[in-house]
Amino acid sequence: MRRKTTIVQMGGAWPINIGNAFIELGSIYTIKKALGDCNVVLCSSLPKCFLSRGALSTPVRILDFSITDKTSNLFDIREAIKADYVVFSDATLTENWMKLCFPDKLLKKNKDTKIIINGGGGGSYTEREIEIVRDYFKKMNLCAFISRDVKAFRAYEGIAEHSFNGIDCGFFVNNYFAPPTLDLPRYITLTFDKKKEPKLKNEKRTIIRTHHWCWSESGFLKRVIYYKGGFNKKNTLISDLPQDYLVVYANTEETHSDRVHACVPTLAFGKPAKLYSDTRRALLFDRVNAGSIKSQLTYPDTKKIEKEKERQIRFLSEILDF
């Protein structure tokens, strides 16, 4: 009997940002849908991120009061698994992300393991960033690059054996997970981790407030002050399980958020959302005709989303060998 193809989905760090889970679970769905009978293993980058000195803005990375990088002390399960493919998703095309999240063994011309970027996006898209990212990928056995926004596709088309202008994998969460109906009155969802939530005019509906991680992304003092009051508001959800959030976004009447990946699953489940952020990551909404999301409450173009999802799965099925 021929062994199953083994595919490792790199991800994790969900306590730091539960939005990562939506992307990775969506990516796993696309892989299984495209390949069928395969073994997909989800592995976390959190151990390396946790002890790295590469991003001191996150408190957990300085709790041991040292200034040295202790990642060499870690056992990284990702280094040991024998895989046919390794898949990365999310904002993978940045220098900081690569330093914090890539297993060391993949920074070599490893011919035994093929690498796929499934729904990858960039950060600043500066010439410097693009040059650094391209240099990183030259060291790897990059089989396929699937972008999540057009700017990323134009910047990195051709870096892999196969390239595809795709969408963010978070749009597949409604295929991965079927949420139950909530026994609640009409409600809207507010998800604000980086700024104060807006005051919505004449809002009479119940409000559920979700936080995608336990710290604000502002400076340390502001972080303490912000959350001294932030967690005391009624109907606040903080969880380590993505399904809890997906149930909320699937049943909401609308979502208002400064988190891209609070808006993505909301749209995926057919509900409207508005994004309160100027992040370059919002470029991914243009791919599904939701570019207005930063200026107004935007309803999903479900036909467009479904069409792009079908195209992405078809591409994966064509390039995956088994």
Domain check: are 148 and 9 in the same one? yes
Domain check: are 150 and 90 in the same one? yes
Using CA atoms in the order 130, 288, 307, 23, what is the torsion angle rounded to 10 degrees? 60
Domain check: are 164 and 182 in the same one? no
Using CA atoms in the order 127, 160, 144, 317, what is the torsion angle rounded to 10 degrees? 130
Hey, what long-range contacts does 127-132 have (CB within 8 A, 24 or more apart)?
129/93, 129/94, 129/95, 130/155, 130/156, 132/95
- In tens digits, the chain (322 residues) has pLDDT values of 457 889 999 998 888 899 999 999 999 999 999 998 889 999 988 777 666 655 444 444 445 555 666 666 778 788 788 889 999 998 889 887 777 777 766 666 566 788 999 999 998 899 999 999 998 888 788 899 999 999 999 999 999 999 999 999 999 999 999 999 999 999 999 999 888 889 898 889 999 999 998 654 445 555 554 554 456 688 999 899 999 999 999 999 999 999 999 999 999 999 999 999 999 999 999 999 999 999 999 999 999 999 999 999 999 999 986 4
Domain check: are 181 and 251 in the same one? yes
Q: Model's pTM, two decimal places? A: 0.90
Which pLDDT score, from 0 to 100, does residue 51 have?
61
Using CA atoms in the order 228, 229, 231, 234, what is the torsion angle rounded to 10 degrees? 160
Domain check: are 207 and 107 in the same one? no
Which pLDDT score, from 0 to 100, does residue 59 have?
47
Amino acid at 60: V
Domain check: are 159 and 203 in the same one? no
| Domains of the chain: total | 2
Amino acid at 77: I
**Cβ atoms within 10 A of the Cβ of 8, count?**
23
The domain of 271 spans 175-303
- Shortest CA distance to 179 belongs to which of 317, 308, 271? 271
CATH assignment at residue 273:
3.40.50
Domain check: are 143 and 229 in the same one? no
Domain check: are 140 and 19 in the same one? yes
Q: What are phi and psi of 42, to 5 degrees?
A: -95, 125
Domain check: are 129 and 186 in the same one? no
Length of the chain: 322
Domain check: are 199 and 92 in the same one? no
Q: What value, to the nearest 5°, has the Cα angle with vertex 264 and ends 260 and 267?
A: 140
Q: For residue 194, what are the CA distances in angstroms to 132, 182, 191, 197, 223? A: 28, 28, 9, 9, 9
Domain check: are 217 and 103 in the same one? no
Which pLDDT score, from 0 to 100, does residue 57 have?
43
- Shortest CA distance to 171 belongs to which of 74, 308, 291? 308
Domain check: are 75 and 196 in the same one? no
Tokens, residue 294:
């930063």
